[in-house]
Structure 1
Amino acid sequence: MTSSTLPLAPETTTVSGTGACAETTVGYWPWATPTRTTRTPADDGWVRGHDPRTVASGRARAQDPDYDGWLHHVKAASACKHPIRLAGQIHVNDADGNRMATVDTEDMPDGAIYTPCGNRRASVCPSCAELYRRDTFHLIKAGLQGDRWGVPPLHEHIAIFLTATAPSFGPVHHRVVKVHAADCRKKDGCTCRSSVCHPFGRTCPHGVDLRCGDRHKAGDGQLGQPLCLDCYDHAGQVVWNHEAPELWRRTIQQVDRELRRLGRVHGVDLRRRYIKVYEFQVRGVIHYHALIRLDGYNPDCPEAIVPPPAAITRDMFEQAVRTAFVKTAYTSASHPSNGGQGWHIAWGDKGLDLKHVNAPGGTVNLAQITGYIAKYVTKSTEVTGLALRRVDDLSVQVHGDPGTHLGRLIRACWDLGEHPAYARLRRWAHQFGYGGHIATKSRAFSVTLGFLRMQRTIWRRTEGHPHTWDDEQTERVIYELGYQATGWITTGDALLANTAAAMARARNQAGLDALADELAQQRTATRSLAA
């Protein structure tokens, strides 16, 4: 089944969630530029900043007798910016496999089923990205705290949080705050006084003075930009991004070797479980945030999650991890542009930023580290100031500007990608060579995102009574659905659906706040009686 994907909605509309098949008006064509630029409410009927086409389509939908049914039908994707519309049939079978009923999407509102796009990037779909972040939050929390979904309590397990960065590929403008104010809130943009960027330097062979006496502010456009574009090793950076997943794989294998050595010294068996996410720095290179948990080993039940022996301390675990990161290094595949040799791939020489989680007297607790890691799964290259999709032969001419730092990174990916060993650089040129997953983890660290999605499905299908769910029910509903289109049919539909979702979130939050107040009053009353 196919449908037109032309953007029939005006590109200047500000309605969130406008789909690919929106309404049109007489005399208006989507590829034509309106000659009239001055708008007044009296002239063209703008209402509260919305296009009159949006208001008209929204009013028409709201006046439809089946409006309540439509609103309930799109509830699952009402907050999504670009929902997916599916068409086809749904068959319901009994326990013996006999077909009991068939539901056709043609009989449903709009002739389709709406499902969220599921995009993890907040810049693409804030609603789906927030759901992805919350799932990741609970996944990490289960791996640190346990005592849920079949995972045992993990309070006796040792865990460390580390940040592994890339080496330097040339001096860039940076911002370093050595002393923060007492009321500083870094997550909202630090306003503390920073150190001088590069107080000392020399003149490079290209005649550029490699010094900067500025104290950069947060969000300064110069941050991450090389002091000299010609001196900066753009090829080395994109190759490091390209090799980062392999470097991590070798590093975690070396961690296993160091733990086996540590275990042999003390006569015990140790296991490590981890979860990691990547984050782009402003200069366009990634670094990893990883949470590594140390477990013991039960020979009678190898799959069991047991605490490590008491003989193993946090300092021993930290030393083993640090040693593994120092030892791991290798040479990448050869390339003609590098003199027929490969690049040296290793971690940065500034060392690991490593902290113990929930250690006595420590500064990192479970709630902080869980929220800190989960927030990065909704981000991509936005921090660099460039957010692209795939780069092809045409777009590389536009985005691969040799006069900019990011343009040179994209061009380096494209040029180096001609070699068969580095063909993936072209595929991931829009991410400056990095093509790994946003988050990876050990199997036994926690549950999976698929498990969490299944739990959500069970909750919805049982209407909040998951104890009535039978696993055989998954085989009784057969979906024969195909892709129809992406996006809301009209901008008015997007406005109504997103507004309904916002009101539902507000009601839920009000209920949670009322429950919290009631619990607080009960605790206060209990303390008063005890006193």
Structure 2
Amino acid sequence: MTSSALPLAPETHKVSGTGASAETATGYWPWATPTGITRDPAADGWVRGHDPRTVASGRARAQDPDYPEWLGHVRAAASCKHPIRLAGQIHVNDADGNRMATIDTEDMPDGAIYTPCGNRRASVCPSCAEVYRRDTFHLIKAGLQGDRWGLPPLHEHIAIFLTATAPSFGPVHHRVVKIHAADCRRKDGCTCRASVCHPFGRTCPHGVDLRCGDRHKAADHQLGQPLCLDCYDHVGQVVWNHEAPELWRRTIQQVDRELRRLGRTHGVDLRRRYIKVYEFQVRGVIHYHALIRLDGYNPDCPAAIVPPPAAITRQMFADSVQAAFVKTAYTSAPHPANGDRGWRIAWGDKGLDLKHVNAPGSEVNLAQITGYIAKYVTKSTEVTGLSLRRVDDLSVQVHGDPATHLGRLIRACWDIGEHPDYTRLRRWAHQFGYGGHITTKSRAFSVTLGFIRMQRTIWRRTEGHPHTWDNEQTERVIYELGYQATGWISTGDALLANTAAAQARAWHQAGLDAIADELTARRTPAQPLAA
């Protein structure tokens, strides 16, 4: 049996209700208790690096006569790292509301229904994060290309991709590669020769020389660390993270004003649609990646998505967006830590990194930008070297170490969050003050993630025949399910389920590759897209 390389079992503590066969293992599972006895792995029956207890529990499950039924039962969550187990009853009614049948989970394998955890973070559950990434990919692709899910073709619409960053809060160690090698595939984290970090500087009031002559590598632990901890404005950074969603809201309102001004100049009406995601920099501050699409306006059908007038060029659109980001700035609520004044909230002074999508001569095309944005939805604070869930009065004493950069950020969130106007800083201290959603978009940019998930549900329940779906059927099935536990009952179950899922993916991918090869042989040259 060949097992998948994906992580198998949950990282959280073992919860009650996981069954009598629940087990622990050393190393990977944090609840394990080492015995202190040194054993011979070969004598104990280690198989391909797996604990003998995992092999034993997996063998016991595989030898069970009901194993095929169990494997089919957990198929929906087979590749999930820590699935949710639900218990209860499912009622089926007829068209008149009369009860026809009742299904109890006690009659099912393991007495529960397995459902994926649905976590978007790859560090928590790689399988569910990949589903989230693919859904986001298709959502963005539909918003740029159209011609699916009720959206019209969008080839004639203008679109720009921008990156908006925070201002500087103090000098940090950084890595800049000005010239990449010809065969360099990764612009981020590549092995090309970097520039000197900080060749020039001065001695700060705290006696620290603000210079660094190193050429940092991509995995250097110094990246993002301040040259002087005492000079760095940790409070200003967490406040900026806290205010970033409001700053974006005001900026997009200013974009609308600039577009109305542009439209009045040319006697047309314009509408903007956008989608954005945030990404953490190694210094612990977020920046936004956004796609903004320009639409026209049809007074006879205001809800219709129509292309912008030909009189509006790409550069006009870009100049309007650029002006909005430059003009937007405000002062936050006052705080005693800043002399009963607020902090100035604005975008970084380095300007926007703005690129046209699918413009003639542009290096940015639809496929590249869609995949580029979608990959960030599975990430969070891991790039900073810290991954927490929540911070409370007890854990802040551990993680708020004043001798470290990240510790000072967490401590700043906790101290500033004592004020009534900044209480959200404490709630989101594990994200250095930022509490916005990973992805936000305009309603008319594309469909929603909920719509895509529903389409997948219909496909699964109709076994690939969505035209047979009847919405009235959902009203006749009543679920009365409650939470039972999290995770697999045993690590052997996790191994078997994950391996079966990996083999199914491999078989499915092999079929797709065969179909793609056949279509490639018959394909005629396609017309290039124009956003």
TM-score under structure 2 normalisation? 0.94
Q: Does 1:211 align with 2:211?
A: yes
Q: Map residues 506-525 of structure 1 onto 2, 5 A cutoff.
A: 506-523=506-523
1:61 aligns to 2:65 (yes or no): no
How many Å separate the matches in 2 of 1:289 and 1:139? 15
Query: What corresponds to 2:354 in structure 1?
Result: 354
Superimposed CA distance per residue, residues 17-59 of structure 1 (whole angstroms, 9 cap, x where no aligned partner) = 2483374679x9x978434253312443322211121111111
For residues 175-202 of structure 1, give each alpha carbon's deviation from its aligned partner in whole angstroms, at most 9, with x where no partner exists: 1111111111216731111111101000
Contact 2:23 2:490 in 1 (8 A): no
Bigger shift: 112-121 or 97-106?
A: 97-106
* Structure 2 counterpart of 1:145, one-letter code: Q
Contact 2:22-2:489 within 8 A present in 1 as well: no
For the residues of structure 2 that align with 1:18 and 1:45, how far apart are their CA atoms? 24
Counterpart amino acid of 1:298? N
1:476 CA displacement: 1.3
Query: Aligned with 2:483: secondary structure?
Result: strand
Question: 1:172 maps to which residue?
Answer: 172
Residues 263-305 of structure 1, C-alpha deviations (whole Å, 9 max, x = no match): 1111111000000000000000000000000000011111100
1:424/1:523 CA distance change after superposition, 3 Å: closer
Structure 1 distance, partners of 2:252, 2:225, is 32
Instruction: Confirm or deny: 8 A CA contact 1:91 1:477 kept in the other structure.
Output: yes
- Could you tell me how far apart the structure 2 residues matched to 1:18 and 1:262 are? 54
Secondary structure at the residue paired with 1:101?
strand
One-letter amino acid of the counterpart of residue 243, structure 2: E
Equivalent in the alignment of 1:403: 403
Counterpart position of 2:471: 471
Residue number in structure 1 paired with 2:527 = none
Q: Who is 1:127 aligned against?
A: 127
Three-state SS of the structure 1 residue aligned to 2:303 is: coil
Amino acid at match of 1:153: P
Give the 3-state SS of the residue equivalent to 2:54 in structure 1: helix
When residues 301 and 15 of structure 1 are mapped into structure 2, their CA distance, relative to the original with a 3 A threshold, is closer
Aligned to 2:529: none
In the TM superposition, residue 97 of structure 1 has moved relative to its aligned partner by 1.8
Is the CA contact 1:279–1:288 (under 8 Å) kept in the aligned structure 2? yes
CA distance in 2, matches of 1:287, 1:488: 37
Q: Is the 8 A contact 1:333 1:342 kept in 2?
A: yes
Once the two structures are TM-superposed, the CA of residue 523 in structure 1 deviates from its matched residue by: 4.7
Deviation, structure 1 residue 471: 1.6
Letter in 2 for 1:121: R
Contact 1:40 1:46 in 2 (8 A): no
> Secondary structure at the residue paired with 1:505?
helix
Match of 1:94 in 2: 94
Deviations for 1:351-370, whole angstroms, at most 9, x for unmatched residues?
A: 00000001011110000000
- Aligned-pair distance for 1:122? 0.1
Q: What is the Cα-based RMSD across aligned positions, in Å? A: 1.8
- The match for 1:3 is none
Q: Which amino acid aligns with 1:397?
A: Q
User: 1:195/1:15 Cα in 2 relative to 1: closer, same or farther (>3 Å)?
Assistant: closer
Structure 2 residue aligned with 1:144: 144
Q: Does the CA-based 8 Å contact 1:247-1:346 persist in structure 2?
A: yes
Q: Which residue of 1 aligns with 2:193?
A: 193
Contact 2:22 2:490 (C-alpha < 8 Å) held by counterparts: no
* Cα shift at 1:219: 1.1
Aligned residue among 9, 24, 31 for 1:17: 9
* Paired residue type of 1:330: Y
- Which is further off, 156-165 or 460-469? 460-469
Cα distance in 1 for partners of 2:270, 2:449 equals 26
Q: Paired residue for 2:330?
A: 330
Which amino acid in structure 2 is aligned with residue 96 of structure 1?
D
User: Measured at CA, do residues 37 and 474 of structure 1 come closer, stay the same or move farther in structure 2, by a change above 3 Å?
Assistant: same
Instruction: Name the structure 1 match of 2:453.
Output: 453
Secondary structure of 1:186's counterpart equals coil
Q: Are residues 71 and 25 of structure 1, via their aligned partners in 2, closer, same or farther at CA, if it must alter by over 3 Å? A: closer
Give the aligned partner of residue 421 of structure 1: 421
2:521 aligned counterpart, secondary structure? helix
**Alpha-carbon separation, structure 1, partners of 2:516 and 2:135:** 22
State whether residues 278 and 289 of structure 2, in contact with CA within 8 Å, keep that contact through their aligned partners in structure 1.
yes
Residues of 2 paired with 1:488 and 1:521: CA distance? 45
1:278 corresponds to: 278
Check whether the contact 2:23–2:491 (CA below 8 A) recurs between aligned residues.
no
Q: Is the 8 A contact 1:15 1:50 kept in 2?
A: no
Q: Name the counterpart of 2:305.
A: 305
Rounded Cα–Cα distance in structure 2 between residues aligned with 1:294 and 1:183: 35
Q: Which residue of 2 aligns with 1:289?
A: 289
2:39 is aligned with 1:47: no
* Unmatched tracts of structure 2, length 5 or more: 1-5, 525-531
3-state secondary structure, aligned to 1:510: helix
The AA in structure 2 aligned to 1:424 is R
- Percent of aligned positions that are identical: 87
Look up the match of 1:527.
none
CA deviation map 1:214-238 (0-9, x unaligned): 1111111110000000000000000
Bigger CA drift: 179-188 or 122-131? 179-188
Structure 1 residues 483 and 327, CA, compared in 2 at 3 Å: closer, same or farther?
same
Matched, 1:498 2:490: no
CA contact (8 A) 2:7 2:81 kept: no
Query: 1:472 deviation in Å?
Result: 1.4
Structure 1 residues 413 and 18: alpha-carbon distance in aligned structure 2, compared to 1, 3 A threshold: closer
1:234 is aligned to 234
Whether the 8 Å contact between 1:15 and 1:494 is mirrored in structure 2 is no
SS at match of 1:162: strand
Write the distance in 2 (CA, Å) between the matches of 1:25 and 1:136: 36
- Find the residue that maps to 2:481 and give its secondary structure: strand
- Note the C-alpha offset of 1:100: 1.5
Tell me the alpha carbon deviations over residues 247-269 of structure 1, each in whole angstroms, 9 at most, x when there is no partner: 00000000000000111111111
Q: Is the 8 A contact 1:18 1:494 kept in 2?
A: no
Given that 1:18 and 1:491 are in contact with CA atoms closer than 8 Å, whether structure 2 keeps it comes out as no
Q: Is the 8 A contact 2:82 2:488 kept in 1?
A: yes
In structure 2, the residue matched to 1:34 is: 34
The 1:256–1:132 alpha-carbon spacing in structure 2 relative to 1, beyond 3 Å, is: same
* Distance in 1 between residues matched to 2:194 and 2:58, nearest whole Å: 50
Q: Is the 8 A contact 1:381 1:431 kept in 2?
A: yes
Give the Cα–Cα distance (whole angstroms) in 2 for the partners of residues 31 and 467 of structure 1: 48
Contact 2:203-2:210 at 8 Å conserved across structures:
yes
Q: Match of 1:203, as an amino acid?
A: T
Count of matched residue pairs: 510
